[in-house]
Each structure stands twice: as structure tokens, then as C-alpha cells.
Structure 1
Amino acid sequence: MGEWDIQHLSDTLRSLGLIGQVFGALLILLQTIVPFVPFVVVAGANVLLFGFWLGFLVNYVFACLGAILAFYGTRSFGREWAQARLSKHRIAGRFNEKLGKHGLLYITLSRVTPVLPSFGINMAAAVMNVRSRDFILGTLIGKSPMILLESLIGHDLLHFTQYKGRLLVLLAVFGLLLAAGSYLNKRWTNSGTD
């Protein structure tokens, strides 16, 4: 994930005109469903392609849309199989009950703090007792700050000399969120055994 990757992807998309803009948006959607490169690379390319705020909006809308599509696709085709296996494990069953009651909180926090990769959250929520409404609202609320952060990081990587101070702060914030996510993950895992 370097400056050249983001710049090269953005230049390639820009050279395709309107089709490149459509591809830029669809790459975010595809990356959310099946992560093939770090999100920050595609997000940074879209920020260069569309301009910062429009790029952020494209990243946000298509990442949320991809998450919702992955959630419903997994729920339609994998939920019954997964629920049958989860019911055999007491810890998973207790955590599943908590997700049914507090799904909005868990999804929002897992989006803001990188507890799991986005596609993992989509799949796990789909097979667990998270209500659709809680998943969608939690995704819309929680993805906004993370996508803004990743769009800024992608932007500042390309303009390192101009924004190196801000980039260091953004990377520190991202590191703190990773630490918070790790803490929450341990807490949630241990709470199932209580």
C-alpha cells in the first residue's frame, strides 16, 4: 500500500472518464464484500478521483451499500446452517442473545473500532441474532468516522510533505482505535463466559 498504488489506481480510473468514476464506486462496493486490497488504497484513489468530500461520500455510500448487500446475501444463504452450529456452543449462544438485545450498540462500536474486518462483521452479524434494522443503523453510524479517517489517511499519504503532521495524528488515532477494538474484542469474548 504505497503512494504509487493509490496514485496509479486513481490515474487509471481518471483516464476512463465517467466509466472510471463508476468503477471507482464499484471497487469500494466490491472491496467491502470481498476485500482484495486495503480499503485505504481504494478510498484514497476515490478521493483523488472525485475530490476529497465527494470521494468521501462515494466511499461511504458504496461501503455501506456493500455491507448491507453482504449482510442480506449471507443471511439468505448461510444463516440456518450457522445457527445450527452456534446453538451447540454455550458461549456463542450467550453472545448471540446479547447481539439480539444490543445489536445496534455492538455493530456501531465494531464499525468505529476495528474489532474485525468489515467483511467479517457483515458475515458474523448476518448469521447471528442481529436485527436487520440494528445492522443497517449501526453500519450507517459506525462507518462514517472510520471511512472519513481512512479517506484522510489515503489523501495524506499522497500529499505527505504537505500533510505529514496531520497524517501522523491520523495514524495515531487509527492505532488508538485498533487498541480499543482489541480491548472490546477481549471484553466481548470474555463476557460470553460469565
Structure 2
Amino acid sequence: MPSAKSSSDALPPRERILVAAHALFYQEGIRATGVDRIIDQASVSKVTFYRQYPSKDELIRAYLDYRHGLWMSWFETSLTQALHAGAPAAQALSTSLRAWFSRADFRGCAFLNAAAELGSSDPEILKVVRQHKQEMAAVLDSLMASDGVPVGPALSLLIDGAIVHAQMGQPLDDVMDAFDATAAAILQR
């Protein structure tokens, strides 16, 4: 998963705010990150911030849209490259996830985190999270389904479980060993 960091000073204020919010929301949490911290990180004035994003809720939705685009692009590209290199489907998926889980900035799934933080107070967030997960399952089906048998929903559940266990600090080899065995079983149906 690529980082959203760039030379943000060259970006227009709206994008600087979004890039700063992305980094802070993902690393520190949505609720834990105040608007003043985002303003400081983005090097914008409070007036500029509120002109671009009239509310934190609007920024949260923009963050999730932005994260969705980044993550889905990385996910599909990573899987496609591994599959084109000849890796079996289960190995392509395992290699991609292991690389993501091993990143120093890994803090789980931004969408599961958002659902846990905000889902009970903002049902719209749950819609965004469900849509992200459905699109992830669709990518898995498009790349890995065989004989028309959908595998995306089962693999998506398996991926979410692996994400949570990796985020909780379970040894990565243990997480991936369990993941690999189950993914292979799903893909051999």
C-alpha cells in the first residue's frame, strides 16, 4: 500500500488538507485527531480549512474516498502483477497482504477502524465501509474466481480476519500460515 505522502507544499490547500488528514486519521485515529492538528499539519489557516471542508464529517468522508482509491489501486495492481508473474492465486494474495502488514505504518484497515470508531454514531460511515468491502470482493472475484464460482466474499472475510490479527500484534508468520491454508482451501473449491 503506497503512502499518500508527497511534497504536499506544492498541492492546493484542499489536497494538502486531505493528505494531512489521511496520514493523521490512519495513524492516530479519526476521533483522536482534531481539526487544529490537521490545520497545522496541512499548513493552512482555519478559514481556508473550513472553506474547503465545512465540517470534520465532510473531511472524514473525503478521507475514506481517498483511502479507498489508494488502497484499491494498490490491491488490484499488486495482485495482478503477482498473478501475471505466475504466482498461484493464494500466493499472490498472501504476498500482497504480507507486504502490507509488514509496513512500518500499518495500522489495520482504515475502513474497519472507521466503522469501529464512528459506525454507531454515523450510519453513513457503515455504508461507505460496506461499499469498500463489496468492491474488494468484486476485485477478488474478477481476478481469482474459477468456473464462475465467486470467491470474493469468502476471501474478503478471510482478509478482514487476517488484518485484525495482524493489527493486534499476533506474529505475522502465524497470521499468514493460517491465512494461506484457508485461502488455498477457498480457492480450490
TM-score by length of 2: 0.38
Return the structure number with greater helix share. 1
Q: Which has the higher contact order (CA 8 A, sep 6+)?
A: 1
